[in-house]
A and B are shown apart, each in its own frame.
Chain A
Amino acid sequence: MSATGDRGRRPGQHNPTRAPDTRLTDVQRGESISHQRTPPGSGKTTERTGVDRREFLAMAAAAKGAFVMGFWLPPRPASAQQSEGTVWYEDPEAPEINAWIVIEPDDTVTVRIAQTELGQGVWTSNAMMVAEELRCDWSRVRPEYASANRDARELAPEWTLEVMGDGARDPNGGGEPGFGNRARTGVFGIPDSLYRRMRTNAAASVKDGRYYLQLAGAEARERLLLAAANEWDVPVNELTVRDSVITHAPSGRTTTYGAIARLAAVTPHPNPETISIKPPGEWTLMGTEQKNLDVPMKVTGETVYAIDVSLPGMKWAAVKTCPVYGGDVAAYDFDAIRDLPGVRSAMRLPIPDTALTRGRTFSGGVAVIADTWYEAKTALDRMPIDWTVPPENAAFNTANMRQALLDSLDAPGTIRVDEGDVDTGFADAAQVVEATYSTPYLPRARMEPGNATVLVTDERVDIWIGDQSPQETRFSASQITGIPEEQVYLHMCHLGGGFGRNGNGPQAEQAITIANANRGTPIHMLWTREEDFIGTTYRAMGMARLKAGLDEDGWPLALEVRIAMQADGFGPTASFGGASRYHAPNYRFSNHTTDFHVPVGTRRGVSQAAHEFYRETFIDELARAAGRDPYLYRRELIARTDIPYKDDMIRALDIAAEMSGWGIPLPRGTARAIALEERGAETGRSATISAMVHTVSVSRNGTVRLERVDVAHETGFGLVNPLSVKKQIEGQITWFYNDAMHQACTIADGRIVENNFDSFPLSRMDEDPPEINIRFFETDHWLIGMGHDRATSVQSGIGDAIFQITGKRFRDLPFSRHDLSWG
C-alpha cells in the first residue's frame, strides 16, 4: 500500500522500494521501449512495462532521446537490476518519497516537472517551489519530466486536491488556481490525475501549481523528519533540517535526507491534511534570483530537443499538407520518386480529426518516409501532388477578409457590456473621436519546427516530443491507434520555443498517424519551416473601432469599443469584457464575429495583445484630442474608476514615468510613450499589472529604433524566480517590437503568403533595445501569471512615438508597411 495514501494506486503498485539512478528522466527510466520482445535469458520483466532493465539500457544507450537534459545513463551492475514486481519508477536505491520527489543516498534530489520547459524557466521555478518546502540542498536538485503515462494510471494524492486559504488576497494560502473541471482529459481545468495540470499555458505554471508543488515538498519533508524521529526514537518536533541535513540538537545527532530516504519512503504521513505551506514572508529560496538549471546544457549543444531524437531503425518523414486550410490530397504520384535515394514509402495524411485539435481544421496531406529527413524532404519536393481545395476557402484573401471584418463592425454585434447610456453620452459630447485599427494574422514561428518521433506497436505507443499539452497528446495517441492511454508513453523534450499551447498544431497527430501505419518502426516526422507555418494556429486577424465622446475638458463621457475577429479568435481573454480600466460613465463593448477558415489559437499574448494595441493607442489619441499629457490622462482616468487594484495601476504608471525621465525634453526625432498593462484586474482576484515607457527614435528616412524601455512591474505577494521574470520581460519587449514593426501573415487564394523568415522577418541584435530598466514593486495579491501578456505596450508605444515625431498616426500593424519618413 502506498505510504502516502495516494488514492489511485492499483494493487501491485509498490511504494518506493526499488532501484537506480535518479538522474534518468522518467522517459529514460520507465517510459522505455517495451515493444521489443524480451531477449531470451535477459532477465525478468516488470509487470507493467514489460521491459527488462538490461534491454532498456541497451535501447536507451542507442537513443539520443534517452539523454534528455544530458543526464547520462550510467552502466548499472547486474546485482542492482530491477526485481520482479516493481515498476520502473520504484527504485530501492533512490526512493521516491512522493510522485514529485526522489532522493538518492548522496542527497541528490530529483524533482519531477509536469510542465514543459520552453525557455520560460519552469524547469527551475517548479523545482524551486518544491525545494523551498523540502529544505533540501538546492545545489543538488535535478529536475526531470513527470510521466504523462503515470498520470494516466494514478490519481492525485488527496492532499493536493484542496486549495488552502482564501484566494488571491490571502498571502498564506494557495492563491487562485484555475480550476474549471477535473476531467482527466481536461483542457480548461486542472485534472485530478496524478500530476494535475500538465499543460503549459496561460503563464499559469506558478499560479496553478504553486500550492500543490509547495505541498509536495512539505509532505516529503515531514515524512523525512518523521522517519528520522522514529529511527532515533525522539519527538519529531525536536528535529530541525537545513540543506538536506537533519539535526537533533538535544542529542547532537545528525543525518541526511539521502540516508533516511529509504525509511521515509515507507513512512506514511499520519495526517497529510494538516500540512501547510510557507507564506512569502518565510521564503528563502523562492523570491531569489536563480539561474536556470538547464542553461549549462544549452550552451554546449547537449540539450536534446525533440528534433534531436534518434532511435535504432528510425525512419524520417517529411510532410506536405494542402496550403489552403481544409484542403486535402486528390492524388499524388509516388512512382515519380520511388527510386530516389533512401525513399521508402509515401502515405496520405487525412485532415486531422477536429476532436483532437480543439476544433481547428487543418489540412490533409502526404508524408514521404525515407532513411534520412533530407532524402524524404527532397523527394517530397519532387513528388507531384494534386490538391482538393474547398473553393470557399480558396476565395479568401486579406482584402476581402478585411472588408468582412469592417462589415461586421457595422453590424450590431454581440453586446458584452453596456453600462449607462452610451448614445446620450455621445450626444452630450463636446467632441467625438473615432478610430479604426487592424492587426494581422500572426503565427508563433518558434525556432524548432514541428516534429515528433513515434513508435507504435500492437501493445503501446511511445512518443518523443516537445509538447505543451502532454495529457491531450496522450488522448490523441489513444484515439488514433486504439491503444489505451495507460499504454501511451510520452518522452518529453524541451521545446525549441513554444509561445502558445495549441501552436504546436497537429505535429503529434500527424506523427502518430504515420507511425500507426508503420507499426514497429520508429518514425521521426519533421516539418519544414514552410510546413510549420501551415501546421500552427494563428492569432486571429482583427479589427476594432473605438469611439469616445469627450466633454469640454477632454474627459470621456461615453466610450464604445467594437472588436471584430473570427468567432473562435477571441481566445480566453476578451479583455474589454469587464469594467473599463479607463473611466467612461457610459461604456459599451461588443464583439463582431466573422467566419474565416484559418485555424486560430492562443498565440503569446492571445487576443488581448491585439486589444491592448487598440485600447492604448486610442487612449493616446484621446489624450492628444484633449490636449493632455498621455501619462497624466491615463492616471486620471484610472483614478476615476472603481476598478480593483487601481492604486497599483497608478503606482505602475508613476514608477515607469519616473524611471524614464518623463517630461524631460528629448532631441527632435525621439519621443516617449507610456502605457498600462494589466490582466485580470476587473475580477478583483488574481491579476498582473505593469506599466512601461518606451523611448523611440525615428530617423528622417523612417528607421525606427526602440532606444530604451522602462518597466514597472508588480511582484504581487512574491515572484518565484525574479531572474526568469526579467528574462521574460526582456523577451516580450522584442516579441511585441516584432509584432509592431515587422510581422504579418497575409492571405492570398486562401493560402498563408509569408511562410519563412525571409518574408516573415524576425528582428536581430541590431534592432534590440540597448537599454531595458526593470523595477519591481510590491503589491498585495497573487499574480495571475507572468510572461505572455507583458510588453503589449510596445505596439502602442512605437505608434504614438511615430505620431509625435512624424505627425502621422498609423492604425494598421505592422508599422514597417507604412511610410515612416518625416521632415
Chain B
Amino acid sequence: MAFDLEVNGVRHSVDADPQTPLLWIIRDRIGLSGTKFSCGIGSCGACTVHIDGQPVRSCSVAAETAAGKAITTIEGISSDGSHPVQLAFKELDAPQCGYCQSGMIMSALALLEAIPDPGDADIDAWVTNACRCSTYYRVRQAIHLAAELMRAEQ
C-alpha cells in the first residue's frame, strides 16, 4: 500500500506496509541511514527523529502515523554539519563510536527548541538517549555550548 511521507521537506511516495516502523521506511525505502537501529523497543533513542518538531523513537512508531506531518532526520538539520548543535558536538569532540549521536543530537535539538537556555535537569529530562561509549559528559557540555551558539544566532 502506498502512502506519502514528508522527510526533510521532501515528499516521498512509499509503497510498504503502513504498519512498518518509521525507522525502517526512513532507512530502507527513503535511503537515509543516519538514523540508527539499536534496540527496536523504543528504549535507547538511537532512532530519534522529529515529527512536527517533537522527538520520537522512530523504531516504535508506525510509519503511517507520520503521514501528513513533517519528519526531520539528522540529515535534515544541515547539509554540512553547520547547525549550532553539530558545531558544539564537534567542538567538544563529543562522539566516540558515534552510533548513537544522530539520535542524541536530535533529542538535544528538540530540547533547545523548547528551552533555549536549559539547565542540567532539563537536559536530563529531554535527552534520554543511551550511549554505550558513555559520551554523556561531553554531550552535556556540548548542549550548553549549543544553547549559547543558538542564542547568539538570534
Contact = CB atoms under 8 A, between A and B. Distances in A.
Interface in A720-750: 723, 727, 730-735
B110 interface: no
Contact of A447 (B36, B74, B137, B138): B36
Interface in B84-99: 85-86, 89-90, 93-99
Contacts, number: 171
A723 B93 contact: yes
A298 interface: yes
A499 B100 CA distance: 15
A496 B28 contact: no
B36 A291 contact: no
A447 B93 contact: no
B137 A374 contact: no
Nearest to B40: A529
B73 interface: yes
A497 to B, nearest CB: 5
Given A300-B86, A447-B36, A731-B135, 10 more contacts: A299-B101, A305-B99, A372-B28, A374-B21, A446-B97, A497-B133, A730-B135, A764-B127, A765-B129, A770-B120
Contacts of A303: 98
Contacts of B99: 305, 446-448, 496-497
Given A304-B33, A764-B129, A765-B123, A756 B134 contact: no
B5 interface: no
Nearest to A304: B33
Given A447-B99, A494-B98, A496-B97, A734 B134 contact: yes
Given A529-B38, A765-B139, A301 B75 contact: yes
Interface string A103-131: 00000000000000111110000000000
Contacts of A119: 95-98, 133
A628 interface: no
Interface string A470-504: 00000000000000000000000011111100000
Contacts of B46: 447
Interface in B42-59: 43-44, 46
Contacts of A64: 33
Interface string A311-339: 00000000000000000000000000000
Contacts of A407: none
Contacts of B68: none
14 contacts: A64-B33, A119-B97, A119-B98, A300-B78, A303-B98, A305-B36, A305-B99, A307-B37, A447-B130, A529-B40, A723-B93, A727-B96, A764-B136, A765-B123
Interface of A: 64, 117-121, 291-292, 294-305, 307-308, 310, 341, 372-374, 444-449, 494-499, 526, 528-529, 723, 727, 730-735, 756-758, 762-766, 768-770, 772
Contact of B24 (A291, A292, A373, A770): A373
A310 B120 CA distance: 39
A758 B41 CA distance: 8
B36 A496 contact: yes
A300 B41 contact: no
Interface in B63-88: 73-75, 78, 80-81, 85-86
A447 B90 CA distance: 21
B113 interface: no
Given A298-B101, A299-B90, A764 B128 contact: yes
B44 A735 contact: no
A714 B89 CA distance: 28
Nearest to A498: B97
Nearest to B74: A301
The residue in B28, B32, B97 that gathers the most chain A C-beta atoms within 10 A of its C-beta is B97
Contacts of B123: 765
B20 interface: yes
A308 B33 contact: yes
Contacts of B134: 730-735, 763, 768
B24 A374 contact: yes
Contact of B97 (A304, A494, A758, A772): A494
Contacts of B115: none
How big is the B interface, by class?
Answer: 35 or more
A727 B41 CA distance: 29
B81 A447 contact: no
* Closest 6 pairs between A and B when the two form their complex, measured CB to CB: A301-B34, A119-B96, A496-B99, A298-B98, A734-B134, A119-B97
A302 B93 CA distance: 16
A730 B138 contact: yes
A448 B96 CA distance: 13
Interface in B108-137: 120, 123-125, 127-137
B127 A765 contact: yes
A756 B133 contact: no
Given A374-B24, A447-B44, A447-B130, A302 B34 contact: yes
A373 B97 contact: no
Contact of B35 (A301, A445, A448, A732): A301
A758 B99 CA distance: 19
B21 A765 contact: no
A499 B28 contact: no
Contacts of B34: 300-302
Given A118-B97, A496-B97, A448 B36 contact: yes
A528 B40 contact: yes
B90 A295 contact: yes
Contact of B98 (A294, A499, A762, A768): A294
B124 to A, nearest CB: 4
B44 A757 contact: yes
Given A296-B81, A764-B128, A447 B100 contact: yes
Contacts of A498: 97
A119 B133 CA distance: 7
Interface in B13-28: 17, 20-21, 24, 28
A184 B89 CA distance: 40
A451 to B, nearest CB: 9
B39 interface: yes
B140 A765 contact: yes
Contacts of B120: 770
Contacts of B94: 295
Contacts of A734: 134, 136-137
Nearest to B95: A298
Contacts of A297: 98
Contacts of B33: 64, 301, 304, 307-308, 310
Contacts of B147: none
Contacts of A770: 120, 140
B36 A307 contact: yes
Nearest to B27: A308
A730 B137 CA distance: 7
B65 to A, nearest CB: 16
A300 B97 contact: no
A718 to B, nearest CB: 20
A765 B73 contact: no
Contacts of A727: 93, 96, 135, 138
B7 interface: no
The residue in B28, B44, B101, B137 that gathers the most chain A C-beta atoms within 10 A of its C-beta is B137
A759 B123 CA distance: 24
The residue in B78, B93, B125 that gathers the most chain A C-beta atoms within 10 A of its C-beta is B93
Contacts of A292: 93, 95
B138 A756 contact: no
A735 B124 CA distance: 18
Contacts of A735: 134
Contacts of A757: 39, 41, 43-44, 130
B132 A762 contact: yes
A449 B38 contact: yes
Contact of B86 (A120, A299, A447): A299
